[in-house]
Amino acid sequence: MTTPTDLFAEARARLTIQKCWVLLDLPGVPKLSCRSPFREDQTPSLSIYDKGKAWIDHGTREGGDVIEFIRHAIGSDHRAVRNWLRERLDEFDICQTPRTCATVKAPQQANLIQWPSDLIEGTQSTWEGFAKHRGLTFPVVHVLVAAGILRFCRIDGIKCFVITDNSRRCAEIRHTEKSLFGKSKVYPLPGVDKSWLPGADLLAGVPAHVSILITEGATDLLAAFDLLTRYKREFGGIHSWVPVALLGASCKALSPNCAALMRGRHVRLVPDADAAGDRMLAHWTDLLRRNGCTVDCVTLPRGTDLSDNLAKMDPISLFSK
């Protein structure tokens, strides 16, 4: 069992104040100079420094490390901070890279993707614009970037977004304009291994009780993370989930590495509600059950996908067990 001292030390090592800000759903934007989320602050009085590990409110002279920031945010004592941390550090949290993730090495094929340009995390303004354009809440964009799921790049000077994960085995590059890549919204990316499901690297070191939500398509993965963030923030999120994506209903195979991470878990499929989605559901239900998984599915209104239902879907209906 993790002792209180170990728990605080682990939090100081793994968490930044920016990540805690998002997890705590505090108002405003965390940066070097910003308004305090703890009081009425007419001018920016709060500074986050030391690479996100320390803060100070110049108006009240209060400050400290990540632990003190959490304590101020929840308005309680260190015992409450310990309980808050235990829920997020002893179990998987989507805002964090799992601590044993580095021990899962992608096969050599991960190095074969021929990237058209460098992948970047983007800036605050990039995230805000992306969230607005895709109909996502801003906190989830921060979560996606922190988890390695969302990156950005430029192709011929045009801004694009990339859905991938830290393994870099599989990825999809998209732009909002349908005509950018000819008849397809997806950039032709050589070297992609579609038997690896983007997001699967987040399963490394995660307890077996954590469930998996499989979406059909990269943009539905964004919607799944948005709904999961709302589920955790608004409803307490008593069940733990990791969303991953099939890059299209035509994907039929599951790599051995990916299968090992998913084996024996509860998996929920969210296929598009069309003929291709029906075939995807039948194939992957059988494949996953042969991998020792328990499988169920979410049925969407005919002719729609998860992204189409983002604004009206109740997160509890997607993540209840």
Domain boundaries, the chain: 4-89, 95-321
Could you please report the per-residue DSSP string of 224-291? HHHHHHHHHHHH---S-EEEEEESSTT-----HHHHHHHTT-EEEEE--SSHHHHHHHHHHHHHHHHT
Which position has the higher pLDDT, 286 or 34?
A: 286
Q: State how far the Cα of 272 lies from the Cα of 311, in Å rounded to an integer.
A: 16
Q: State how far the Cα of 66 lies from the Cα of 3, in Å rounded to an integer.
A: 18
The pLDDT tens digits of the residues spanning 112-148 come to 788 999 999 988 888 889 999 899 988 888 889 988 9
Q: State how far the Cα of 162 lies from the Cα of 155, in Å rounded to an integer.
A: 11
* pTM for the model: 0.68
Which run of H or E residues covers position 132?
A: helix 124-134
- On the 0-12 / 13-18 / 19+ scale of CB atoms within 10 A, 226 is buried
Cβ 52 vs Cβ 16: under 8 Å: yes
The pLDDT tens digits of the residues spanning 276-288 come to 999 999 999 999 9
pLDDT score, position 236: 66
Q: Specify the range with the lowest mean pLDDT, choosing from 63-72, 78-87, 147-156, 165-174.
A: 78-87
User: Tokens 């304009």, residue?
Assistant: 177
Cβ 48 vs Cβ 55: under 8 Å: yes
pLDDT score, position 51: 84
pLDDT exceeding 90 applies to what percent of the chain? 38
Residue type, 251: C
The pLDDT of 105-111, averaged and rounded, is 41
Split at pLDDT 50, 70, 90, the class of 273 is very high
Phi, psi of 212 (to 5 degrees): -120, 135
- Cβ neighbour number for residue 158 with a 10 Å cutoff: 11
pLDDT score, position 80: 85
pLDDT score, position 182: 61
Q: Which of 46-55, 188-197, 233-242, 281-290 is modeled with the greatest confidence?
A: 281-290
What is the CATH code for 4-89? 3.90.580.10
